Amino acid sequence: MLQPWIDSTSAKSLEAELSEAAGMNLAEISANASDEELKKTEVAQPLLLAAALLSWQAFQESSDQVQNFSTSAVAGHSVGEFAAAVIVGVLTASDAMSLVTTRGEAMAEASEEPKTGMIAVLGGDESEVIEAIERGGVFVANKNATGQIVTAGLVTKLDELSANLPTGCRARPLAVAGAFHTNYMQSAVDEFAEAAEKIEFRDPQVTFISNNAGLELKTGRQIRDHLTNQIARQVDWVSCQHTFVNLGVTQMIELAPGNTLSAIARRQIPDIAAHPIASLMPT
């Protein structure tokens, strides 16, 4: 996922900086690691952050595109919030990568026992889906869009939920190591908090929207506390999108490596033009 973004000298310099902070050769892993290796959260999270930051730098260096956009607000889905924090000046790229590496390792460790996972519940009536999730003894981890709720918990209970979903729903297992954004991650919260205390979090220079409730966080301390606690808290991307609308946002740019959030935006908030960053770059 890094290969499209590391051709220039400045990109190679940033990749080297991020690799040093992560304690791993990110470009080599991205190019040569097996699918199983890439699915490990302690590997995937640093790669996701690197892809986001490298693509953002490439976009900034593409002057023809930059002049068409003015950044009025940022938000990130889960680990994407660390890229958002770098963009608005809260964290340096190296500090963000150091924290994400700690985060990935701590979340992987928290996922070892008991056996937990995540599934996306697609379709159905939202109130009925949430009622079924709560009745099944698992958690709502992500509210991504209308008809797309991610639930997390013990694998045994997720299997039971999948077999007893409300009418009009289907389950899609997610290739993740554990029950992220739930109470099962509390040990990771504690470990991350200790690391975050040693890092400087500056106040944002651009509006920073939290992924928990779509609220603006105005100080570095607020963002530090949020990034710490969001490991075990629900991601409410629906609220983020409502906030974008209320702020008068007209265009959204989704950083690398994917286009999932752009696809959601096109369905949920069609009046805002959504662009995966690769679509804005010269071919």
**Residue 242 is among the residues annotated as catalytic for this protein:** no
CA distance 150 to 178: 13
Task: Specify whether 226 is catalytic.
Answer: no
Catalytic residue among 19, 98, 181, 239: 181
Active-site residue identified among 19, 30, 78, 210 = 78
- Active site positions, annotated: 78, 181
